[in-house]
Each structure stands twice: as C-alpha cells, then as structure tokens.
Amino acid sequence: MKNKKLTQLEVLGLSVAMLAPTGAMAFNTAGAVANAGMVAPIGFLLAGLGILFVGISFVSLGSHISDEGSAYAYNSKALGEKAGFISGWLLVLTYVTFAFSSSAVVGNFIDVFLKNFDISLPVPLYVILVLLVGGALSHKGIEFSTRFALVLELVAIGALIILTAAILLHGGDAGINAKPVNPSNGSWSGIGAGMIFAMMSFAGFEGSATIAPRATQPHKAIKVAILGSVIFAALFYFIVSYTEIIGFGTSHIGLMKNSSAPLNYLATRYVGKWMAIFIDFASVSSYFACYFGALNAGAFMLEALSKNGYLFPWLGQLKGEKETPTHALDLITVLALIFYAIIGIGFKVSAGDYYNYLGTIGVIALLLVYVLVSAGAIAYSRKHSDKHSFFKHTLAPLIGILVMIFPIYSNLWPIPAWPMNTFPYIVFVWLILGFFVPQKKKK
C-alpha cells in the first residue's frame, strides 16, 4: 500500500480466514468420518503435521524472497520461471474453486440459521446474495478485508470452544474413550481418503503469503501467520473432531457421517436450542470469512501473474490508494455467479455437493503446490549453501512431500466413485494447460 503497510495481525487474518476453523469443523468432519470412520481425528492430526512441514518450507522461502505471488514468486527463484508459473497457476485454480465452493456453503448455513426463525427462501438466492455482497465489500481493500474476516472467524471460534467444552464436560454420548485415536478401529486407506477433507480444513494457510510483501515486516509476518495458524489449527481440529465423534458416540458414527449440520445437532443435544442458533450463525461467519479470504487471495495471485507478463494486463492493475486488484476481484465474482448458475441452479447440485466437489478439486491442486514448494525449498537451499539447515531445507520438505503424496494417491487408488474419480484428471488437464500459457514481455 502507498499510505499504510499491513500489520502482522492483518496478514495473520487472511490465513485464519481461509482456514475457517469453525466452518471446517461444521462441514468437513462429516466427510472425513464418511471415509475414515471413527478414526478421522488421526487424519486431521497427520494432515496437521504434514502441513506444518510444508509451512516450514513456505517460511524458509518467504524469509529470503519477498516478491508478490506466494508460491509463484518462491518457485520462480528456486525452480525456474516456468515451475514458478505452474505453482501460481495451480494456486489460481485452488483459490477460485475455494471461493466458488465456500460461497455455496455460506448460502447453505444462512438457510439453516434463518430456519430457526421460520424464514425459508431458496438457497440459491442466498448464494447469489453472498457473492454480490462479498464482491462489493472486497473493493474496500485488503486491510478492511483481513480485519473483517478475522473478526468473523474469532466470533465463530469462540462459539465452538464453548460447545466443545460442554460436550467434554458432559462425557459425550457414552463416556470419553480412546477409540477415535486408535488406528485399529479403521484402515489406513480410509484415513488417507479422509485426509482430503482434513487437508481441505488446512487449505489456505499459505494465503497470507500472497499479501505478506505488503506488511511492515514481511519476513516476520509470514512466519507468524503461517506457522501460528497451522499449529493452532492442528490442535483445534484434532480436539474438536475427537469431541464431535465422542458427542455422537462411536456406536452411532453412521449418524454423524450422514449429518448435514453435525454441530447444530450437538449444540441442541448438549447445550440447547439457543446454542444451536449461535453455532449456525458462527458457521455462516466462518465460511463467509473463508470465501472472502479465498476471493482476495485468488485476486492477488491473478494480479501477480498478470503483472509478470502472464494472462491479461488489466488483471494486474491496482486501483485506489489501497492498491486493490478490483478487476481480478470482479472477474472471480462474475465467474462464481456464472458457474453457480450453471452447476448449482441449472444442474441442481446441492450446496453440500457443490462444496465437496469443487473443494476436492482445489485441494488436489493445492497439494501439488505444496509438493512443488517443498521441492523448491530444497533446491533454493542448495543454491545458497550459506543458508542451509538440514532440518529446514532437507528433512522438513521431504516429510512434507511424503505426507502430501499420501492423500493424492488415496484419491487415485482405490478408484473413487463418480464423480470424485474425475477430479484428479480435471486438475491434470488444468496443469497441462498451464504449460501452454506464454509469458509476454512486460511493458
């Protein structure tokens, strides 16, 4: 920004918003349980550990490279310009699909929330309203966006902490036990498939890297934002997913995996109807923060790629004293409206399926980015031997790569059911298209 740099808290706000911890626990746990069963918390813990090692690679590269563009900027220096572009190209797919998918979930939870007051309107109307309001608010600039998203998420986290404490104090459905953390009560293939939903819950932690160069202390800001958000989320997800399973009861796991609003059920059962209403509102806030964060991260990624000679020059234009990429923001908003009109309304895909389908595509693309950034951390350190640390630049990236490959493989084999079996190939097609995007000479 010309007049004001972002604070560390504002940079942290984007990562926390994109993680959407409350929304993740309101929606993603059911998907994780459907694949992994009662041992889903193990998947969340493994995902958190893997993401932490990937986060170390982001911090390692971000501490030396402060150009805008996150993974694009990092890997352009570490692996070469084309590898850098492919990293950014994949991130565009991730952030755009996250913005699309999370907006639908906001509409879904608005419907759940308003039904508490006997207000029932078509969910597509809510989704369209979310996209229009979010698109308009995003023009206020990244400073407003990060603060607004962080406040929404903090309110939501507070509500979920209260509910979690209530369930644990009650002893859950049949007492607190170790079944959800015993791998013998599930299968590793199931845990791997469930990790996609766990990864979906961590996805976006690196979002702060897209705006960190605008911070007063870029290197410190990215370290605090990335490692801080990942460590908090890993502990939060493990405890809350365990508590949800204990709340439903390990003998009633089928009820949880088929639930469209598990937190609503638990709040009503263990606290009361008023808490369910509060949790429903918290879920709206959390997913709106996620949508808002993805919208902004996607726009800044488009701006960075366009500014560096890819895509269209007008996408790289910044407007106003807040230097906001309004053209990129508007493009994502318009595409989201068109896509939802065709898929969500035209093909009558439910908000839940819309979120799961697009979110899975985005996560698979993001896992590839994480692999590339981890490889980039290794390559960059080899070029700068004076900055080499075996743990940070070799061991951590290798562990991150291995953990990221696990859920990718689990979504290829055993072959998932339709349409999930097509999603890895959609990402592959997008990846191949990226190799044919030329870099234009910058004016």
Could you give the CA distance from residue 262 to residue 428 in angstroms, rounded to a whole number?
33
Give the three-state DSSP class for 215. strand
Report the chain's mean pLDDT, rounded to a whole number: 89
Please list the residues that pair with 324 across neighbouring strands.
Answer: 319
pLDDT computed for residue 4 by the predictor: 56
CATH 3.30.2290.10 matches 8-434: no
Of 1-15, 150-164, 227-241, 336-350, minimum mean pLDDT range? 1-15
Copy the structure tokens of residue 212.
């960190």
Mean pLDDT of 225-245: 94
Query: Which phi and psi (to 5°) does residue 6 adopt?
Result: -75, 145
Cα gap 123→288, rounded to integer Å: 15
What percent of the chain is predicted at pLDDT more than 70?
98
Mean pLDDT value across residues 385-409: 85
**288 close to 130: Cβ distance less than 8 angstroms:** yes
Q: Which of 363, 390, 353, 301 is nearest to 84 (CA)?
A: 301
Residue 422 pLDDT more than 70?
Answer: yes
Q: Is 386 exposed, middle or buried (0-12, 13-18, 19+ CB in 10 A)?
A: exposed
User: What pLDDT does residue 142 have?
Assistant: 76
Label residue 441 by pLDDT band (50, 70, 90): low
Q: How far is 92 from 299, CA to CA, in rounded Å? A: 8
Q: What is the pLDDT of residues 157-186, one digit of tens each?
A: 998 999 999 999 999 998 999 999 999 999
As a whole number, mean pLDDT of residues 393-401 equals 93
d(CA 263, CA 256): 10
pLDDT tens sequence across 202-216: 887 887 877 778 888
> What local confidence, expressed as pLDDT, does residue 6 receive?
78
Give CA–CA dist 217/214, Å, rounded.
8
pLDDT tens sequence across 342-358: 999 999 999 889 988 99
Q: What is the pLDDT of residue 414?
A: 76
pLDDT digit string (tens) for 44-79?
Answer: 998 899 899 999 999 999 888 877 778 999 999 999
Residues 122-159: pLDDT tens digits?
Answer: 999 999 999 999 999 999 887 887 788 888 888 889 98
Distance CA 204, CA 236 (A): 16
- Sign (positive/negative) of CA torsion 238, 244, 249, 254? negative
pLDDT at residue 442 greater than cutoff 70: no
**How large is the greatest C-alpha to C-alpha distance in the chain, in angstroms?**
67
pLDDT of residue 30: 87
Kindly give the interhelix angle for 188-202 and 218-248, rounded to the nearest 10 degrees.
Answer: 130
- Amino acid 1: pLDDT: 42
Looking at residue 361, its amino acid is: I
Domain extent listing, the chain: 8-434
Q: What is the pLDDT of residues 237-263, one digit of tens each?
A: 999 999 999 999 999 998 898 887 789
